[in-house]
A and B are shown apart, each in its own frame.
Chain A
Amino acid sequence: MNLASLAFKNLWYRKMRTGLTILGVGTSIAVFVSLVGLAGVFTDEFRQMYKSRQTDLVVREKGNFDFLSSGIDEQYADKLAQLPEVLSVSKVLLDFSLAGAKDYFLVLGWEKNSRLYSKIKIQGRIPQEEEEALVGANIARKLGKKIGDKIEVKGNRFTICGVFESKSMFEEGSVVVPLEKLQKIKKVPGKVTLLNLSVKKGGFAQGKPVNEQQQIEGTRSLIAGLLPDTEVRSIEDIVSADNTMTYFLNFAWAVSIIAFIAAILGIINTMVTSVLEQTSKIGILLAIGWRKSRILALVLYEAVLLGVLGGGFGLALGYGIMNILVSSPQLQNIGRIDYNLIFMAKVILVSLAVGFLSGIYPAIRAISIKTIEALRYE
């Protein structure tokens, strides 16, 4: 018999209390897993959307953090395309449109000859006419639309000329319409939300291969000087600076911290009750010569076990909740769940820390009991 098995037996002896505590801790951990996990799913999808387009830099209006209201002159694209450092420039206009009473989808305005079409898998064809639209597979499935059907985008009827699949589920939940048409609908002629840039990479300088990141950074500085009313950002900058994602991640952490505090209080309550109940048993351990450090370790073991068991349960529950949320009609285009082992290991470590922190007060309380008073407790 060792301390760990004694701690486990102690918990097993009080099955109901242990079960309820694990349920409480697990629920708190599940809140963390599902909210932070969803934020991660959202961020990964956003990043994937740019990566699938082989976008290195994004040019957008300076100082306007709102994607929907920001806009830059589309002629900037022609200027940038002439730079020897730039491989390609794609114009994108963004908006949202309602689908039915509650749902909405992303609307992308692309040029007819946009390079972005080559990054998606199209069944049907690219829009040729103003009233034609290319519909993401997700949104087509959700709305029950197929090629030849009509779809309403911001009050305008479009004929579906194709359905597309993308590496990004976020993109698969969107509808692509001709850029000029969306500019008319939004009443922003000559404006685009952003420009997607691919930088020319590779080559040698002074006999050594050129660092791609340095090439991207160099091009970014060049454009920033050339177009001072714009800001040029790398994909990672955009992902980390996106307001919606930042708010969601902050919200996820805030709720998670409250949930962690609830978990810590739950374990403290369980362990203090346990220590009180076992006062006389702790007294006999002190009487027979157990060191206080061993009793401290026993209580901490129990608390850590509660934390880790709660963490394991919370992890399973959290991923279950995420699966339900991601497959719900409202969020089905948000992305794919990444069963990241490092994230799971971190969750278990956090649970362990929650258990340890929760065990400190009850453990100190246990070793503060005077032997003779402990033995008289019953």
Chain B
Amino acid sequence: MNKDCLIQTVDLSRFYEDGRVQALEGVSLQVPAGEFLGVKGPSGSGKSTLLHLIGGLDRPSSGEVYFSGQKAGELYRRKGFRLNHLGFVFQSFYLWPVLNVLENVSLPLMESSLSRQKKLQKAKEIINLVGISDKINASVHNLSIGQRQRVAIARALIMDPQLVLADEPTGNLDSRNTENILALFKTLNKQKKVTIIMVTHEEKALEYCDRCIQISDGKLQ
């Protein structure tokens, strides 16, 4: 295993319906720490499946994912590992409508043993970093689509993860918001040295990435 890589996949495959549907086949990939990796490909090519397998949201049919040289499957089962090392950003944001911005961002902190004061301070810092500090107590209903995605990004970053997995994070955004969010990802990648793997089918988004890979028909091109 390459211990210099934060993420490494070895011959990773995922089949559905008893092997009749092949979503991903034999993908081997190395992602160094601090890299902003773009994963592109047409719809249904298997790029989201790759992201889900890397993040432990799904289990591979064969092959292995390694996180800092250790089997990810074992690490992810450890209490608090995913909470402290991984952040997720999705196209649909998945915000809790009953909670305001601060509360949504603080959701991962509910699993943390930090003091109430420190939790609040941490949440305020990250909200400030993503540029929505004036909306801290606003209901997520009253936010623009771009602001909602910033809340989701803040939630992904609040535990200072080493890796952020973003699945079509700009898929629901207009071009101006897309550029803003991508610029934010780039800034976070540089400032916080966080490794980002971003799935997208937008060519423009890939301009922000350090490297880009393409998946077609479940295979790495």
Q: State the A residues within 8 Å of B (CB).
A: 1-3, 6, 9-10, 12-13, 280-281, 283-285, 287-291, 294, 371-372, 375, 378
Q: Is B58 an interface residue (CB 8 A)?
A: yes
Q: Is B57 an interface residue (CB 8 A)?
A: yes
Q: Name 14 interchain pairs, CB-CB below 8 A, sorted by A.
A: A2-B110, A280-B94, A281-B94, A284-B88, A285-B107, A288-B83, A288-B87, A288-B88, A289-B159, A291-B79, A372-B57, A372-B58, A375-B57, A378-B92
Q: Which of B80, B90, B97 contacts A289 (CB 8 A)?
A: B80
Q: Which of B52, B57, B88, B103 has most A Cβ within 10 Å? A: B57
B71-96 to A contact mask, C-beta < 8 Å, 1/0: 00000000111111011101010101
Taking residues whose C-beta sits less than 8 angstroms from the other chain, chain B's interface range is: 20 to 34
Q: Is B98 an interface residue (CB 8 A)?
A: yes
Given contacts A6-B99, A287-B88, A289-B86, contact A1 B106 (CB under 8 A): yes
Given contacts A289-B111, A294-B110, contact A13 B98 (CB under 8 A): yes
Q: Is B38 an interface residue (CB 8 A)?
A: no
Bound CA span A291–B79, Å: 8
Bound CA span A340–B92, Å: 53
Pair A289/B84 contact, Cβ less than 8 Å: yes
Chain B residue, CB-CB nearest to A1: B103
Q: How far is the CB of A111 from chain B (nearest CB, A)?
A: 73
Q: Is B148 an interface residue (CB 8 A)?
A: no
B contact residues around A6 at 8 Å (CB)? 98-99, 103, 110
New contact pairs (11) apart from A289-B86, A372-B52, A378-B92, CB-CB < 8 Å? A13-B98, A281-B96, A283-B94, A284-B94, A287-B82, A289-B82, A289-B111, A289-B159, A290-B107, A371-B58, A375-B90
Q: How far is the CB of A327 from chain B (nearest CB, A)?
A: 43
Pair A289/B83 contact, Cβ less than 8 Å: yes
Q: How far is the CB of B216 from chain A (nearest CB, A)?
A: 22
Q: Which of B96, B97, B155 has most A Cβ within 10 Å? A: B96
Q: Which of B81, B83, B87, B110 contacts A1 (CB 8 A)?
A: B110
Bound CA span A291–B96, Å: 17
B contact residues around A281 at 8 Å (CB)? 94, 96
Pair B107/A288 contact, Cβ less than 8 Å: yes
Bound CA span A363–B108, Å: 20
Pair A289/B57 contact, Cβ less than 8 Å: no
Chain A residue, CB-CB nearest to B52: A372
Chain A residue, CB-CB nearest to B152: A284
Chain B residue, CB-CB nearest to A10: B98
Chain B residue, CB-CB nearest to A287: B88
Q: Is B55 an interface residue (CB 8 A)?
A: yes
Q: Which of B79, B98, B107, B110 contacts A12 (CB 8 A)?
A: B98
Pair B57/A287 contact, Cβ less than 8 Å: yes
Q: Which of B52, B99, B155 contacts A288 (CB 8 A)?
A: B155
